Structure 1
Amino acid sequence: MDRRLGSLAIPALGALIAEPLFVLTDTAMVGHLGETVLAGMSIGSTVMQTVIGLCIFLSYTTTPMVARRLGANDKPGAIRAGIDGIWLGLGLGVILLLVGLPLTGTITSAFTPDPAVARQAYHYIAICLWGLPGMLTVLAATGLLRGLQDTRTPLAVAAGGAVVNVILNWLFIYPFGLGIAGSALGTAITQTLMALVYAAVAVRAARANEVSLRPGIGSPGHAFMVSSLMLLRTATLRIVLIVLVWAAARLGTSELAALQVTMAVYMLLVNTMDALAIAAQAMIGHDLGAGDSVGVRQQLNRIAGWGILVGVVLGIAVAVVSPVVGAVFTPDASVRALLPVSFIMMAVFLPMCGVLFVLDGVLIGAGDVRYLALAGLWPLVSFAAAIGAMMWIRPVGIAAMVWLWLCYYGAFMTARLLVLLLRARTSAWLVTGHDR
């Protein structure tokens, strides 16, 4: 079991950290352009990551569907499910681009009263939107390959994309002097190139198995229901991050910039731990399709143990580097002074996050989307109460960072872990067969 887990999780790790590496690299480069630019990027990247995060259902619904059909010995049906997802991703990306462009100014103004920060965020979002069709295609195509138990191809594409992104962003930000706009342009181009590579891989797989490439989304009613439930599940996660950034912007520019640095590192670590969750999605979906519910329960226990272990290791690493890592991202003394306590808060809660992400991946792999969607509402209420208390107190400086992360980790993530543990202890999610 460990060998199978490793063969899926290790390559998945590289693919998962590609997008956070985009943001982390951008943060390091843009951070040296000044506090205002970094604060603008905090808003801009939060908006774009929210849009992309809300669309993660393209991957998270495609992976278990493809895996189930593969486990039931229906490879052509599995590939067709992935092709449907790719068409849905491309179409949705074009729609969001057309809708998002005229709304960009309104969105950025809602986040901050500082016109200079809002201007930087506007430039970032307006350019990044052009990469959405490509990025959503990437999400769906990645789900297809993961469902086929192939995490090596996404690793290769993500690694190539990360290298191209770093090169393009450096060229556009510094030699071409485009600043934050250069960062957005490099990322949008990279996402489009990655989509073209994935499209070629999907076309080759479809032709090899005599699967039609015509546009479609399978059963529209089922696709709409599953996508809507996954969208609701993801919306609760993104609402929390948006409110967190909104609150930090009200507390101060330094606090907002420090949140951006910490969040960029956190997202990289989240995706490191999420490699286990992605492997769980593929394994659980495949084995439920094959009818092996006993083996699935054993997998849950084993993968959860690995989640705790990875969280502990990452937490120790973050705690060790917390006093010095801020210098990599910004020369601003007021921002750097806030970073050590932020990283210590992260380190304390990472082991809990490790098991949380595994449980989430297991239930996604089982197709238990209705529970995941509805169970996310209670943690949202818990977070709202904590944020309300913080905004009433209005802490500043280090106290503000402690409050921000207590709201996120202590109120929201802890509540999420509890609702997932309650579900995992039952057998209601263990549904076998070709489709759920």
Structure 2
Amino acid sequence: MNRRILRLAIPSIVSNITVPLLGLVDVTIVGHLGATAFIGAIAVGGLLFNILYWNFGFLRMGTSGLTSQAFGRKDQDAEMRVLVQAVSVGLISAVLMLILQYPIERLAFRLLDTSAEVERYAVTYFRICIWGAPAVLAQYGFTGWFIGMQNSRYPMYIAIVMNVINILCSACLVFVFGMKVEGVALGTVIAQYSGVFMAAGLWWFNFKELRPLIKFKGSLQLFAMRRFFAVNRDIFLRTLCLIGVTTFFTSTGARQGDVILAVNTLLMQLFTLFSYIMDGFAYAGEALAGRYVGACDLRRLRQAVRALFGWGVGLSLVFTVLYVVGGEGFLGLLTNDGEVIQTASHYFYWVLAIPLAGFAAFLWDGILIGATATRYMLWAMLVASGAFFLIYYTCSGATNNHMLWLSFLVYLALRGIMQTVWSRRIFSEGYLQKMKDL
């Protein structure tokens, strides 16, 4: 079981680590153009697309759970039906995004407080990159489908190729053809379409036996889409809560001054690093839980969950030790601002608690997505998010950054605790049979 987990988790971790590289490459290239407004434009544009695409994460997660269950019960018709549904919903959503791009643009830049120069370049970046939406959202469907089919290597290959193409195209357009922000944006779009074409190619040449099973009419009928939308609705609402907590955390830190904002941003990099690793094991949980639920194999489902939590506890302890030993040194690599580093030391102990407080939430998210028990995941997120805001606003000195971090840790821990309580319902023959009958 551990070998299966690692075969799924390691490529997913590599893919997760490459995701921020697309934005990092863009920033690095424009950073050599001689104007700080270019960097600000890429930062603002990147933030906007992160928010937009984050809301469509359900296309990957829901697809993974439904596909892995179909894989477990050896239902090839259902495997293809989920892929057709996911890619179709992604493309339709992207078309709507393109149609509504102007109101989205105006609303976004009304909410974002930037200088006129940064906004001008950011608008240019947005108006080009928005045309990559069909590629991005269709690829979410392919990525979730590959993971559901117990193959996380293909998403890793795609991510690596996309980064290489992005670097080459953006650098060529900027430094050879003399383009600026528009060159970086166009290079990103080219990389995105390269990724989705590669995904389609990998499917076409490696799943030949599934080609005759493509049925658009049957797959997109309302009855056939009902379960797809039910699962993804829960994931979508859960994602909105996640965005709300994350955005509030950042904006509240900003209201406490530039130093606190910088401190929280740097400390959250340690959480982000941990999340890249745990998300890889969560993806393994999606694939394996879905497979064994689909196969009605309760013994192996329990075995997979125990093994995943063994890895979760072990990695949490390792990260805690690493943060104790080298965490503050890592912050020194990110900044040489003495005031920021000194202030960060007053809050650093909160970061030490993140791995043990948060690992269960990551793992249960993956397991419940694979089991398509997404309603439990949503309930846990609602309880945890409510606790986050309740603790912050009811504790004395609500502008205290310590209270912000305490609220965040309680939020992480509660997600894991509530999911542990509610997830017991999936470990029964009755639940497995119910999933089989759907």
Query: Alignment partner for residue 255 of structure 2, among 234, 250, 268?
Result: 250
Q: Which residue of 1 aligns with 2:197?
A: 196
Shift of 1:354: 2.0
Closer, same or farther: CA 316–37 of 1 in aligned 2, 3 Å:
farther
* Counterpart code for 1:80: R
Q: Distance in 1 between matches of 2:165 and 2:404?
A: 34
Percent identity for Structure 1 against Structure 2:
25
1:121-147 alpha-carbon deviations (Å, 9 max, x no partner): 655555443332211111110111111
1:351 matched to 2:353? The reply is no
Q: Which residue of 1 aligns with 2:52?
A: 51
Q: Which residue of 2 aligns with 1:414?
A: 413
Closer, same or farther: CA 382–188 of 1 in aligned 2, 3 Å:
farther
1:265-293 alpha-carbon deviations (Å, 9 max, x no partner): 54343122111111111111111111111
Shift of 1:4: 1.5
Q: Which residue of 1 aligns with 2:244?
A: 239
Q: Which residue of 2 aligns with 1:423?
A: 422
Q: Distance in 1 between matches of 2:43 and 2:26?
A: 11
Q: Which residue of 2 aligns with 1:325?
A: 330
Deviates most, 188-197 or 112-121:
112-121
Unaligned runs of 5+ in 1: none
Contact 1:35 1:254 in 2 (8 A): no
Shift of 1:94: 2.6
1:361-408 alpha-carbon deviations (Å, 9 max, x no partner): 11111110122223321111122234546996445xxxx4x5543332
CA RMSD in angstroms comes to 3.6
Q: Which residue of 2 aligns with 1:378?
A: 383
Closer, same or farther: CA 317–150 of 1 in aligned 2, 3 Å:
same
Shift of 1:341: 6.0
Shift of 1:188: 3.5
1:151-195 alpha-carbon deviations (Å, 9 max, x no partner): 111111112223333445566677878777665554333222211
Contact 2:55 2:239 in 1 (8 A): yes
Deviates most, 358-367 or 321-330:
321-330
Shift of 1:100: 3.7
* Counterpart code for 1:192: Y
1:322-378 alpha-carbon deviations (Å, 9 max, x no partner): 334346555666666666666653343123322221111111111101222233211
Query: Alignment partner for residue 286 of structure 2, among 271, 276, 281?
Result: 281
Q: Which residue of 2 aligns with 1:161?
A: 162
* Counterpart code for 2:12: A
Q: Which residue of 1 aligns with 2:85?
A: 84
Unaligned runs of 5+ in 2: none
Q: Which residue of 2 aligns with 1:295?
A: 300
Q: Distance in 2 between matches of 1:254 and 1:80?
A: 51
Contact 1:59 1:144 in 2 (8 A): yes
* Counterpart code for 1:164: I
Contact 2:376 2:419 in 1 (8 A): no
Q: Which residue of 1 aligns with 2:67?
A: 66
Contact 1:79 1:205 in 2 (8 A): no
Shift of 1:296: 0.8
Q: Distance in 2 between matches of 1:31 and 1:276?
A: 35
Following superposition of structure 1 onto structure 2, how do residues 254-269 of structure 1 map, counting pairs within 5 Å? 254-256=259-261, 259-263=264-268, 266-269=271-274
Q: Distance in 2 between matches of 1:185 and 1:337?
A: 41
Shift of 1:105: 3.5
Q: Distance in 2 between matches of 1:12 and 1:80?
A: 24
Q: Distance in 2 between matches of 1:187 and 1:161?
A: 9
Deviates most, 127-136 or 24-33:
24-33
Contact 1:111 1:249 in 2 (8 A): no
Q: Which residue of 2 aligns with 1:304?
A: 309
Q: Which residue of 2 aligns with 1:20?
A: 20
**TM-score normalised by length of structure 1:** 0.83
Contact 1:80 1:206 in 2 (8 A): no
Contact 1:206 1:212 in 2 (8 A): no
Larger Rg: 2
Q: Distance in 2 between matches of 1:173 and 1:342?
A: 41
* Counterpart code for 2:5: L
Contact 2:270 2:351 in 1 (8 A): no
Q: Distance in 1 between matches of 2:173 and 2:391?
A: 41
1:310-330 alpha-carbon deviations (Å, 9 max, x no partner): 222233334444334346555
Q: Secondary structure at the match of 2:163?
A: helix
Q: Distance in 2 between matches of 1:170 and 1:315?
A: 39
Q: Which residue of 1 aligns with 2:374?
A: 369
Following superposition of structure 1 onto structure 2, how do residues 211-230 of structure 1 map, counting pairs within 5 Å? 211-212=213-214, 214=216, 216-217=219-220, 219-230=224-235
Closer, same or farther: CA 68–81 of 1 in aligned 2, 3 Å:
same
Deviates most, 62-71 or 34-43:
34-43
Closer, same or farther: CA 39–339 of 1 in aligned 2, 3 Å:
farther
Closer, same or farther: CA 25–98 of 1 in aligned 2, 3 Å:
same
